[in-house]
């Protein structure tokens, strides 16, 4: 079975680095693979793409009312612009108006025992508490 272009590229990079090292260490007079072009990486499409009916179902799930209208506008913007969540620069914990409180407990020797971050929503509700040492999220 032939190797994919991505796999070929990964292996050829190792060969190229090895020959560059041999040349720099003066084991070879010139680098025989110095001018070698690597295969281009494959760009793959997503495996699952929503159908038109599934998209309509997601947008209709936004509901009605003031928040439903807002959610529907956000979903339609994301769909019509093909924008991903990562493109927006917004993560679920970064809600406008939210605040974060960092708490650090130190023992008598100066060693950090506990370091937590508590994120609070604009209405005062605790969104989540995260242990910054272990990375575990503690549900409120």
Nearest to 128 by CA among 96, 93, 84, 94: 93
The token duo for 51 is 């159908």
pTM of the model: 0.35
- What confidence tens digit (pLDDT) does each residue in 63-117 have? 788 888 888 888 888 778 877 666 665 555 566 677 788 888 888 888 888 888 8
State the Cα–Cα distance between residues 21 and 15, nearest whole angstrom. Answer: 10
Q: Where are the domains of the chain?
A: 52-88, 99-138
> Which pLDDT band holds residue 16 (cuts at 50, 70, 90)?
very high
Measured CA to CA, the distance from residue 10 to residue 68 in angstroms comes to 47
pLDDT for 24 equals 94
Mean pLDDT of the chain: 81
Partnered with residue 104 across adjacent β-strands are 115
């Amino acid at each position: 079975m032939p190797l994919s272009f991505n796999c070929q590229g990964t292996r050829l990079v190792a060969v190229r680095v090895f020959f560059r090292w041999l040349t720099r260490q003066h084991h070879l007079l010139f680098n025989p693979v110095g001018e070698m072009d690597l295969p281009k990486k494959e760009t793959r499409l997503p495996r699952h793409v929503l159908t038109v009916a599934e998209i309509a179902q997601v947008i209709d799930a936004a509901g009605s009312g003031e928040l439903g209208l807002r959610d529907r506008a956000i979903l339609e913007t994301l769909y019509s612009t093909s924008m991903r969540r990562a493109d927006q620069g917004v993560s679920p914990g970064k809600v406008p108006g939210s605040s974060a409180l960092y708490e650090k407990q130190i023992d008598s020797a100066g060693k950090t025992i506990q370091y937590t971050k508590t994120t609070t929503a604009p209405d005062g509700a605790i969104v989540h508490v995260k242990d910054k040492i272990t990375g575990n999220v503690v549900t409120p």
